[in-house]
Chains A and B, each alone.
Chain A
Amino acid sequence: MLWLSSFRYLAKHPWQTGLSILGVALGVAVVVAMDLANQSAKRAFSLSTDAVAGRSTHRIIGGPDGIANELYRELKTTAGIPDMAPAIEGYATVASDDGPSSSQHVGTRLQILGLDPFAERPFRPYLGTQNAGLSAFITTPNAVLMSEETADSIGIALGDELAISVAGIRHRVTLAGTIRPADKVSRQALEGMIIADIATAQVLIGSLDGISRIDVIVPDGPAGILAISKIEDLLPPGVKLERTAARAASVDQLTRAFEVNLTALSLLALLVGTFLIYNSITFSVVMRRNMIGTLRGIGVTRQQIFTLIVTEALLIGLVSSLIGIVLGILLGKGLVGVVTRTINDLFFVVSVRDLAIPASVLIKGGVMGVVATLIAAIGPALEATQVSPRAAMSRSSIEARWRSLAPYSAIGGFALLLVGLGVLVMPTRSLVVSFGGLLGILLGFALLVPPATILLLKGLAPASRRPTGMMASMAARGVSSSLSRTAVAIASLTIAVSITVGIGTMVQSFRGTVERWLDTTLAADIYISPPSLVSSQVRATVRPEVLEKLIAIPGIESHTTFRSVQVDSTMGPVSLVALDTDLPTFNKPNRFKQGDPTDIWEAFQRGDTVIVSEPLAYHRSLEVGSTVTLSTNQGDTDFRVAGIYFDYSSSQGVVMMARGVYDQFWSDRGVSSMSIYTAPDTDISAMLQDLQAAAGGQQELRIRSNADLREASLQVFDRSFAITSVMRILAIIVAFVGVLSALMAMQLERRRELGTLRALGFTQRQIWGLITSQTGLMGLIAGILSIPIGLALASGLIFVVNRRSFGWSMDMQIFPDVLLQAVGLSLVAALLAGVYPAFRMALSSTAESLREE
C-alpha cells in the first residue's frame, strides 16, 4: 500500500516527475554522448594506426629526413631479419576534377600508405583480399588500392582515375583494385585510406629517396633480443628502433587533456541534473509532510519512509538513465563530428565515419545517472524520516527551521570553498584533482545561495514595496518565506548559469589573449604555406623551384622561412621549427615569457641553443638554462634553452632553433612556410595575385594576407571551442528544465492560495503578474549570484585547469555581455517557468482551486 501511495503521488504529478526524469536524462545523455564521441575518435585513430602498423612489433623511424632507401636494403641483407617492410605515409585530399568523382567529394581526406607488396604478407594480411592481381597493382602507373567502402564513398569504380592533392600538388591515381577485408573492424580501419606501391607513394608524397619508417616483426625470446641488438648496431645516428605500441601511447597522450576537459564539461551537465533531482525530491518530501506524518502516525517506521523515498529516486534514476542513454547515442552522432573536427584542427588527422557504441560507455552513463540520483535523494530521504508522527509541522515552523539552518549553510559553504581552493592550489598537475577542487568550490557556493538569497531579499524588500505596492512585496515575500521550496531551485539555477558565465568568460578571455598574441606574432604582410590537414601544423614542403620564383618577385623587402618537423627527443616526439629570420623580426614586443630578447638572439645564432614555447616549458618543466636533448643526424644532441616564448598555436609545445643550426644537424633543406615583408606602398592584393601566379600550375599554395591569416587563425580558435559552446548550451538546457520543473511545481502547489486571491478580486492578469514576478525575482537573484560564482569558476578554469591542461598562460578579462547574457538567461528561464502555472490558473476554476485542500 505504501508503494501504491508513492506510485500514485508520482503519477498525480506528471509534470514534476516528467521534468525530473528529463533533467537527469539530459545530464546522462550529455555524459554518454561526449564519451561516445571521444571513444569513436579514439577508436577510429587506433584502428587506422593498427591498419597502418599491421602486425609489426617494432618500427624504425628517422628524423625530418626520413629513412634512406639504402638503409632498408642494408638492414634486410646484413641483419638477416626476414620480417621487415618499408612504409611511407602521407595525407591527400580529393581534388576537383572532371572525372567520375563528383564535386561533393572534393576535400575528402585520404591517408596514403605506400608499401612494398613483396615484403607485405606477414604485416598487413588484408592486402591479400584484393580483387585485382598483384601485377596490375605494380605495373599500372599511379595505381592505388582502397577498400570497397572508401571507393563507394568517393564515387569511383575499378579502373577509374581520381585527382588528389598532396601538399598542394595535384596527382592522378588509378584505382587498380579494391580490398575486401573479411571482418568489420578491418573494413573500418581501412576507411579513407589509399594504398600504393612504395615507389608510387614516394612520387605522390614527394620523397623520392626516402621512406617514413621500416616495420619490423621481432620474434619473442632470445632471438628477438639478438635481432634488436643487430638492428641497433646498423642504425645511423638520428634513426631509432622503437616498439610500435610506444608511438600509439604518445599519440594518446596528445589528446588526453582535451578528453579530460570534455569529460569534465559533460560531468558539469550531470551535476546540474543532480541538483535538479535533489530539488525535485526535496520538493516532493516537503509537499507530502502531512502524508508522511500520517504514515508515521499509523506505524510506518523511519526506515520504511527512507526506503520509500530512495526507491522512488531509484525508479526515477533508472527511467532517466535509460532515456538518457538513448538520447546520448543520438546526441553522440552529432557531437562526434564536432570533436573530430577539433582533433583534426589541433592534433592529428583522423576520419570518423561511424559512432562506436561500446556497451561499457552505456553502462557507465547509466550507472552514473542512477548513482547521481541516489546521492541527490539521500538528503531529502533523511529529511523525510524526521517528520513528526504526532502532527505535521506548521508551514512556518518548516520555513523557520530552514531559515535557522541558513547560518550553518553559510559556514558549510565557506568551509567547502576553502577546501576546494586548497585542492585547486595543491602543487599537482592532475586535471582530475583540479576539477575536484572546482567541484568543491561550486558546491560551496551552492550552499551559500540560501543565506545570500535571504540577505538579497532583505535588501530588496523596502525597494520593492515603494513603487509597486503589495504585489511586489508579496512576490518577494513568497520567495523568502518559502525557502524550503525556493532555495534549492535558486541554487540549481545559479550554479547552472554560473557555469555558463565561467565557460563564457574563459573562452572570451582566451580569445582575447590569442588575438593580442596574433597582433604581436603576425607582423609580416603575407604568409605562404602548402595546404595542411591539421590547421595548427604545416609539415608539408614548399617546392624549392616554387620558393625561388616567389622570393624573386619585385616588391618583397624581406622574408622569413619556417621549417616545421617532428623530431625525436628524450621527452618523446616534439615539434621543431627552424626559423630563418633577422633580429627585428625575431625580437617582437612581448614575445618572450622568460629571457632577455637581445641575449636570446645572440645565443640563438650559436649552434647549441634553442627557444621553447610556453606549453612545452610547462609540460616538461623547462626554464631558461635547461637542456633539451634532440635526436639529430649526429646522434642525441643537447641544446640549451635560451628563452621561453608565448605560443598559442600548439598545446603540445614547440622547440624553435635558427635555420643555420638546423641545417648543421639535419640534411633536410625543405621549407614548410614563409612570411613576406613587402616594400613600403606595395599593393598587397596585387602582390597576392603575383605570388599566386608564380606558384600557379606547380603547387597549390595558401597565400594569405596578414588579415586573412589572422581571421583564419581565429576561425580555428572558434572551431576548437565549438564543442565547449555546445557543452555550455547543453548545461543551459539541463538547467532550464530544472528551473522549469522546480518553479512550476512551486507555483502549482500554491493553487489554493492563488484561488483565494482570485476570490478576493485579483484579476487573471494580476495573478499572472504575481506568479511571473515571483519566478522572475528568483531568476534575477540567481542571475545576480551567478556572476561572482561564474567569475570564480572562470578564474579556476583560466589560471589552473587550462594551465595544467595545455600550459598556456592567459589574461582574465570580464566581459559585460557575458554577464548580461547570464542575468538575461536566468530571468528568461524563470519567467518562462511561470508561464504554464499562470496559464493553468487562468484556465482553472477558482471554485475548484478553493475546494482543494
Chain B
Amino acid sequence: MTEPSTSAQQAEPFISLQDLGKTYREGDQVRAVLEGVNATVQRGEIIALLGPSGSGKSTLLNLISGIDTPTSGHITIDSINVTALSERQRTLYRRSNIGYVFQFFNLVPTLTVLENLLLPMELNGITGAEAKDTAMALLSEVGLDSRAGSFPDRLSGGEQQRVALGRALVHDPGLILADEPTGNLDAATGKQVVTLLETLARQRGKTVLMATHVLEAARIADRVFTIQVGKLLEQAPTAIG
C-alpha cells in the first residue's frame, strides 16, 4: 500500500461497484464466483486484486471492462453505468476508455509490434503520422522502438508484455485493466514489467486495476483487495508487508 484511502473517499469515485454478483451454471449446479461485491476506486489509483487462481479476479476485470455482464448489481465508471449499456455500447466504451493487459500478452500475431500499437488508435479514428508518432514514442518509452517492425512471436515474453503495456496506453484510456500481467514471466522480468506499468500509469494519471496472485507485484498498488469465496475484501496496508 503506497497511500491511505482517506482522501479518495471524499471525491466522486471513478469506479463504483454496487452489490455485484456473477454466477456460472455448470450442468445442474449454479456456481457463484462473485457475490455482493461493493467497492469504489478513485481516479489515478492503482488497485491490486489478490487471490488464488479461480477466485474470480479475471471475472471481476471482465465485468468492469464490459467483456462479460454481471448476474446482479451495477458497475459505474466515470459516472457511466456500464451495466446498463448494450453489448455494442460496451464495446465502443471499452475501445476508447479501457486499456487491457493480458497474462498471455495476446498480441495480434499477424501484426508487427508497431501495428499492434496502431490498432487501438485506428479503432478510435486516429491514423496517419500522428498515430505513428504516438506509437513510436510509447514504444521508445517501453524500450522497444528498435523492434517496431518485428512480429510478436519473435519477441521474448517480457518484450511482448511491454508491447502489450504500450498497446494498453497508446490510445490514452482512463482505465488500465491488467490480468495477471506477470503470470507468464519469470520473477525478475515480472518485476520490470510491473515497475514499468506503475511508472507509465502514474506519469499519465491512469487508474489501474491489476489482478495478480504475486504479492511482489501488489506492492505498487495504492490499495489491495482480495477475493475470498466470492467476496471482495480490502486489506489493511500491513497485511502484505
A763: chain B residues within 8 A (beta carbon): 88, 91-92
Q: Mark B53-89, 1 if CB is under 8 A from A, else 0.
A: 0000011001001011000000000000000000110
Q: How far is the CA of A474 from the CA of B106 in the complex (A)?
A: 15
The reply to whether the CB of A396 lies closer than 8 angstroms to some CB of chain B is: yes
Q: Provided the pairs A470-B118, A762-B91 are in contact, do residues A853 and B153 lie with their beta carbons within 8 angstroms? A: no
The reply to whether the CB of B225 lies closer than 8 angstroms to some CB of chain A is: no
A482: chain B residues within 8 A (beta carbon): 110
Q: How far is the CA of A481 from the CA of B150 in the complex (A)?
A: 13
The reply to whether the CB of A135 lies closer than 8 angstroms to some CB of chain B is: no
| Stretch with Cβ within 8 A of B (4 or more), from A290-298, A444-452, A527-535, A753-761 | A753-761
A755: chain B residues within 8 A (beta carbon): 106
| Stretch with Cβ within 8 A of A (4 or more), from B39-47, B96-104, B187-195 | B96-104
Kindly provide the distance from the CB of A238 to the nearest chain B CB, expressed in whole angstroms.
Answer: 80
Are A756 and B108 in contact, with the CB atoms below 8 A? yes
Are A478 and B67 in contact, with the CB atoms below 8 A? no
Are B110 and A481 in contact, with the CB atoms below 8 A? yes
B92: chain A residues within 8 A (beta carbon): 761, 763
Are B106 and A395 in contact, with the CB atoms below 8 A? no
Q: How far is the CA of A482 from the CA of B154 in the complex (A)?
A: 15
Are A764 and B109 in contact, with the CB atoms below 8 A? no
The reply to whether the CB of A584 lies closer than 8 angstroms to some CB of chain B is: no
The reply to whether the CB of A847 lies closer than 8 angstroms to some CB of chain B is: yes
Are A847 and B115 in contact, with the CB atoms below 8 A? no
The reply to whether the CB of A664 lies closer than 8 angstroms to some CB of chain B is: no
Q: How far is the CA of A519 from the CA of B114 in the complex (A)?
A: 66
Are B110 and A759 in contact, with the CB atoms below 8 A? no
Residue in A closest to B151 when the chains form the complex, CB atoms: A396
A761: chain B residues within 8 A (beta carbon): 91-92, 94-96, 120, 123-124
The reply to whether the CB of A846 lies closer than 8 angstroms to some CB of chain B is: yes
List CB contacts (< 8 Å) of B136-151 with chain A: 151
Are B122 and A469 in contact, with the CB atoms below 8 A? yes
Are A847 and B123 in contact, with the CB atoms below 8 A? no
Q: How far is the CA of A183 from the CA of B62 in the complex (A)?
A: 77
Are B106 and A756 in contact, with the CB atoms below 8 A? yes
Q: How far is the CA of A478 from the CA of B100 in the complex (A)?
A: 23
The reply to whether the CB of A129 lies closer than 8 angstroms to some CB of chain B is: no
Are B100 and A759 in contact, with the CB atoms below 8 A? yes
Q: Provided the pairs A395-B109, A469-B122, A481-B109 are in contact, do residues A760 and B68 lie with their beta carbons within 8 angstroms? A: no
B108: chain A residues within 8 A (beta carbon): 474, 753, 756-757
B102: chain A residues within 8 A (beta carbon): 756, 759, 850
Are B67 and A758 in contact, with the CB atoms below 8 A? yes
Q: How far is the CA of A758 from the CA of B68 in the complex (A)?
A: 11
The reply to whether the CB of A240 lies closer than 8 angstroms to some CB of chain B is: no
Residue in A closest to B119 when the chains form the complex, CB atoms: A470
| Tally of A-B Cβ pairs under 8 angstroms | 84
Q: How far is the CA of A478 from the CA of B106 in the complex (A)?
A: 16
The reply to whether the CB of A845 lies closer than 8 angstroms to some CB of chain B is: yes
Residue in A closest to B154 when the chains form the complex, CB atoms: A396
Of B87, B123, B127, which one neighbours A760 at CB under 8 angstroms? B123
A757: chain B residues within 8 A (beta carbon): 108
Q: How far is the CA of A294 from the CA of B218 in the complex (A)?
A: 34
Kindly provide the distance from the CB of B5 to the nearest chain A CB, expressed in whole angstroms.
Answer: 29
The reply to whether the CB of A621 lies closer than 8 angstroms to some CB of chain B is: no
Residue in A closest to B106 when the chains form the complex, CB atoms: A756
The reply to whether the CB of B185 lies closer than 8 angstroms to some CB of chain A is: no
The reply to whether the CB of B8 lies closer than 8 angstroms to some CB of chain A is: no
The reply to whether the CB of B214 lies closer than 8 angstroms to some CB of chain A is: no
Q: Which size bracket describes the interface of B in this complex?
A: 20 to 34
Q: How far is the CA of A853 from the CA of B154 in the complex (A)?
A: 19
Q: How far is the CA of A759 from the CA of B67 in the complex (A)?
A: 7
Q: Provided the pairs A764-B87, A764-B88 are in contact, do residues A850 and B123 lie with their beta carbons within 8 angstroms? A: no
The reply to whether the CB of B233 lies closer than 8 angstroms to some CB of chain A is: no
The reply to whether the CB of B111 lies closer than 8 angstroms to some CB of chain A is: yes
Q: How far is the CA of A469 from the CA of B124 in the complex (A)?
A: 12
Kindly provide the distance from the CB of B131 to the nearest chain A CB, expressed in whole angstroms.
Answer: 10
The reply to whether the CB of A477 lies closer than 8 angstroms to some CB of chain B is: yes
Are B109 and A760 in contact, with the CB atoms below 8 A? no
Q: How far is the CA of A847 from the CA of B110 in the complex (A)?
A: 21
Are A760 and B119 in contact, with the CB atoms below 8 A? yes
B87: chain A residues within 8 A (beta carbon): 764
A481: chain B residues within 8 A (beta carbon): 109-110, 151
A473: chain B residues within 8 A (beta carbon): 115
Kindly provide the distance from the CB of B82 to the nearest chain A CB, expressed in whole angstroms.
Answer: 14
List CB contacts (< 8 Å) of B206-233 with chain A: none
A845: chain B residues within 8 A (beta carbon): 67-68
Q: Provided the pairs A759-B106, A761-B96 are in contact, do residues A850 and B67 lie with their beta carbons within 8 angstroms? A: yes
Are A394 and B62 in contact, with the CB atoms below 8 A? no
Are B65 and A759 in contact, with the CB atoms below 8 A? yes
Residue in B closest to A765 when the chains form the complex, CB atoms: B88
Are B115 and A394 in contact, with the CB atoms below 8 A? no
Kindly provide the distance from the CB of B22 to the nearest chain A CB, expressed in whole angstroms.
Answer: 10
Are B119 and A394 in contact, with the CB atoms below 8 A? no
The reply to whether the CB of A752 lies closer than 8 angstroms to some CB of chain B is: yes
Q: How far is the CA of A206 from the CA of B88 in the complex (A)?
A: 84
B67: chain A residues within 8 A (beta carbon): 758-759, 845-847, 850
Residue in A closest to B173 when the chains form the complex, CB atoms: A761
Q: Mark A334-362, 1 if CB is under 8 A from B, else 0.
A: 00000000000000000000000000000
Q: How far is the CA of A752 from the CA of B127 in the complex (A)?
A: 26
Q: Provided the pairs A395-B109, A470-B122, A853-B104 are in contact, do residues A847 and B94 lie with their beta carbons within 8 angstroms? A: no
A850: chain B residues within 8 A (beta carbon): 62, 67, 102, 106
Q: How far is the CA of A815 from the CA of B118 in the complex (A)?
A: 45
A764: chain B residues within 8 A (beta carbon): 87-88, 91
Kindly provide the distance from the CB of A398 to the nearest chain B CB, expressed in whole angstroms.
Answer: 10
A846: chain B residues within 8 A (beta carbon): 62, 67-68
Are A760 and B100 in contact, with the CB atoms below 8 A? yes
B153: chain A residues within 8 A (beta carbon): 394-396
Are B110 and A478 in contact, with the CB atoms below 8 A? yes
List CB contacts (< 8 Å) of B110-136 with chain A: 110-111, 115, 118-120, 122-124, 127
Interface-central residue, B107, B115, B151, by most chain A CB under 10 Å: B151
Q: How far is the CA of A755 from the CA of B108 in the complex (A)?
A: 10
Q: How far is the CA of A222 from the CA of B173 in the complex (A)?
A: 108
Kindly provide the distance from the CB of B101 to the nearest chain A CB, expressed in whole angstroms.
Answer: 10
Of B94, B127, B154, which one neighbours A469 at CB under 8 angstroms? B127
Q: How far is the CA of A766 from the CA of B62 in the complex (A)?
A: 20
Kindly provide the distance from the CB of A308 to the nearest chain B CB, expressed in whole angstroms.
Answer: 27
Kindly provide the distance from the CB of A322 to the nearest chain B CB, expressed in whole angstroms.
Answer: 35
Residue in B closest to A760 when the chains form the complex, CB atoms: B120
Residue in B closest to A849 when the chains form the complex, CB atoms: B67
Q: Provided the pairs A394-B153, A847-B67, A850-B67 are in contact, do residues A762 and B109 lie with their beta carbons within 8 angstroms? A: no
List CB contacts (< 8 Å) of A348-404 with chain B: 394-396
Q: How far is the CA of A762 from the CA of B87 in the complex (A)?
A: 11
Residue in B closest to A469 when the chains form the complex, CB atoms: B122
Q: How far is the CA of A753 from the CA of B154 in the complex (A)?
A: 17
Q: How far is the CA of A851 from the CA of B183 in the complex (A)?
A: 13
Q: How far is the CA of A853 from the CA of B180 in the complex (A)?
A: 15
Residue in B closest to A395 when the chains form the complex, CB atoms: B153
Q: How far is the CA of A762 from the CA of B100 in the complex (A)?
A: 13
Residue in A closest to B99 when the chains form the complex, CB atoms: A760
Kindly provide the distance from the CB of A357 to the nearest chain B CB, expressed in whole angstroms.
Answer: 48
Q: How far is the CA of A806 from the CA of B81 in the complex (A)?
A: 78
Interface-central residue, B100, B110, B154, by most chain A CB under 10 Å: B110
Which residues does A use to contact B, with CB under 8 Å?
394-396, 469-470, 473-474, 477-478, 481-482, 752-753, 755-764, 845-847, 850-851, 853
- Pairs of residues from A and B, 9 with the lowest C-beta to C-beta distance, nearest first: A761-B95, A756-B106, A477-B110, A847-B62, A396-B153, A847-B68, A846-B67, A481-B110, A394-B153
18 A-B pairs in the complex with CB atoms less than 8 angstroms apart? A395-B109, A469-B122, A469-B127, A470-B115, A470-B122, A474-B108, A477-B110, A752-B106, A756-B108, A763-B88, A764-B87, A845-B67, A845-B68, A846-B62, A846-B68, A847-B62, A847-B68, A850-B106
Apart from A394-B154, A396-B153, A477-B110, 10 more pairs, CB < 8 Å: A395-B109, A396-B109, A753-B106, A756-B106, A756-B107, A759-B102, A760-B100, A762-B91, A762-B95, A847-B68
